[in-house]
Amino acid sequence: MRILVLNGSPRANGNTEILSEAFRKGAEEAGNEVEVVNLRGKKIGGCLACKYCFSHGGQCVQQDDMQDILAKLDETDMLVLSSPIYWFDITAQLKAAIDRMYAKASVGFHLDKTALLLNSGADHVYDAAIAQYKAMTSYLKWEDKGIVTAPNMVEKGSARQSPALQQAYELGLSLTA
């Protein structure tokens, strides 16, 4: 199947990217087609709640970098949300992209599977991010294929020593194409 990973970290080659790439490796080995989109540097405005999408077949009125991601979503069977924890939640970059998916909610999503990759400096900081993910996926009737958390990511690159690296890889590997 086709899998789109949205990496919400602004830091290049950071822990989120390391975990996203481990997931990609496993998922590709299992025969899936995977694209990792790094949101850093992209211009993605917040949803305007204008509901232009509701009267324009799911098209968003804002002509920014989200247009490309909305087009990719039309060809994606599974969406993976990958983020560091910022103040006990996902990053603003990833949340902005999720909010803009409202455009597709107006016409229905092609994808029906999802997963979540989180990492953080501390431990026990995932409640808000996981609650939002579970509520959203349940509301949209997406099948949750798994959640991986990597606590204690103190340094850039800590993820290379985390057991979560293998867990992200194995989650990808478990996905039959």
Ligand X SMILES: Cc1cc2nc3c(=O)[nH]c(=O)nc-3n(C[C@H](O)[C@H](O)[C@H](O)COP(=O)(O)O)c2cc1C
Residues at the site binding ligand X, with contacts judged by CB under 6 A: 9, 11, 14-16, 84-88, 119-122, 125, 153, 156
Cα Rg of the chain (Å, integer): 15
Instruction: Look up residue 86 and give its DSSP letter.
Output: B
Q: What is the smallest separation between the CB atom of 174 and ligand X, expressed in angstroms? A: 23
Q: What is the smallest separation between the CB atom of 120 and ligand X, expressed in angstroms? A: 3
Our CB check for ligand X shows the closer of 92 and 105 to be: 92
Strands 33-38 and 2-7: what pairing?
parallel
Our CB check for ligand X shows the closer of 58 and 84 to be: 84
Q: What is the smallest separation between the CB atom of 72 and ligand X, expressed in angstroms? A: 21
* Nearest 10 degrees: Cα torsion 137, 141, 145, 148: 10
Our CB check for ligand X shows the closer of 27 and 90 to be: 90
**Residue 146 φ/ψ, nearest 5 degrees:** 150, 155
How far apart, in whole angstroms, are the C-alpha atoms of residue 124 and residue 33?
A: 33
Q: What is the smallest separation between the CB atom of 88 and ligand X, expressed in angstroms? A: 5
Closest residue to ligand X, based on beta-carbon distance: 14
* 3-state SS, one letter per residue, for 31-58: CCEEEEEECCCCCCCCCCCCCHHHHCCC
How far apart, in whole angstroms, are the C-alpha atoms of residue 115 and residue 98?
A: 14
Our CB check for ligand X shows the closer of 121 and 146 to be: 121
Our CB check for ligand X shows the closer of 41 and 108 to be: 41
Q: What is the smallest separation between the CB atom of 48 and ligand X, expressed in angstroms? A: 25
Q: What is the smallest separation between the CB atom of 95 and ligand X, expressed in angstroms? A: 13
Our CB check for ligand X shows the closer of 15 and 62 to be: 15
For residues 88 and 127, the answer to whether their CB atoms sit within 8 Å is yes
